[in-house]
Amino acid sequence: EAQVTQNPRYLITVTGKKLTVTCSQNMNHEYMSWYRQDPGLGLRQIYYSMNVEVTDKGDVPEGYKVSRKEKRNFPLILESPSPNQTSLYFCASSPRTGTGDINYGYTFGSGTRLTVV
Amino acid sequence: GENVEQHPSTLSVQEGDSAVIKCTYSDSASNYFPWYKQELGKGPQLIIDIRSNVGEKKDQRIAVTLNKTAKHFSLHITETQPEDSAVYFCAATVSGSARQLTFGSGTQLTVLP
C-alpha cells in the first residue's frame, strides 16, 4: 500500500531531551515536507526537501533539523525540545511533475502528537 | 509572502443542507488553490483544486469557485452527509515555481444528523 509512515504516533518528552520523529514513504517521491498543526494556525511548514541531500527551511524552522540521506526517509530532529514545540506534526510527500515542479497532491502521514513538558 | 485567511473556523449544518467555506489570499501571483480534508486522526487529503484560468470546478457534491479580482475562493458542499464532518483547509501557491503551499487556518465542519 502506498503510504507515508510516521513514528511514533504519540510522544511525551521532557524539555531538552533530543528526539527524532521518523518519516518514510514507499512511493519513490522526490519531494518531502514537515508541517506542524496548531489550533487556529492551520498547517505551517517547518522544512522541505526537493530531493536527496536537498533541504530548505519553511516558515517555522527554528528549533528543528532535518536530513535527507535517502529518498524514502526524511526524519525531523528536535535537538533540545521546548514546550512551545508541543504540537501535531505531519510529514508529506509527493512526486515532482514532468517539468520538475512540485505536485501539490500531497500524501500525508497520520501525524505525530508531541507533548513537551 | 503569501497570506491565506479562512472563515469560518467552525461550521455546523444540518444533514442535507449546504456548507460554504471561504478563503482570501494576498499574493496576486498565486494561481493554484487546493482544498484538503482532514478526518479525525488522519492526515489531510486533497479533495479538489482549481487553477486561476477557471472560475469554477465541480466534483459531484463539492465545488470550488475562484474570484481572482477579489482574491478569494470558496468551497461549496451540497447535500451534506455525516461523513463530510472533518477539518477543511484551503491553500494557495504559485504553481510552476516550486513555491510552497500556504495553508489557511482550517474550518471544523460538523454535519448534524
Q: How many CA within 13 A on the CB side of residue A105?
A: 7
pLDDT at B97 over 80: no
Q: What is the dihedral of CA A86, A79, A17, A43, to 10 degrees?
A: 10
Q: Are strands B10-14 and A54-57 parallel, antiparallel or unpaired?
A: unpaired
Band (pLDDT 50/70/90 cuts) for residue B86 is very high
The residue to which cell 470546478 is assigned:
B57
DSSP A54-70: EEEE-S--TT-EE--SS
Rg of the Cα atoms in chain B: 14
Low-confidence ranges of chain A (pLDDT < 70): none
Say which of A40, A50, A108 has its CB closest to residue B44: A108
Check CB contact under 8 Å for A111 and B43: yes
pLDDT at B99 over 90: no
Between the alpha carbon of residue A21 and those of residues A12, A89, B106, the distances in Å are 12, 9, 24
Say which of A40, A45, A101 has its CB closest to residue B95: A101
**Nearest chain A CA: its distance from B15 CA (Å):** 25
Average pLDDT over residues B70-77: 97
Q: What is the dihedral of CA A89, A94, A99, A101, to 10 degrees?
A: -10
Q: pLDDT digits over B15-36, tens only?
A: 999 999 999 999 999 999 999 9
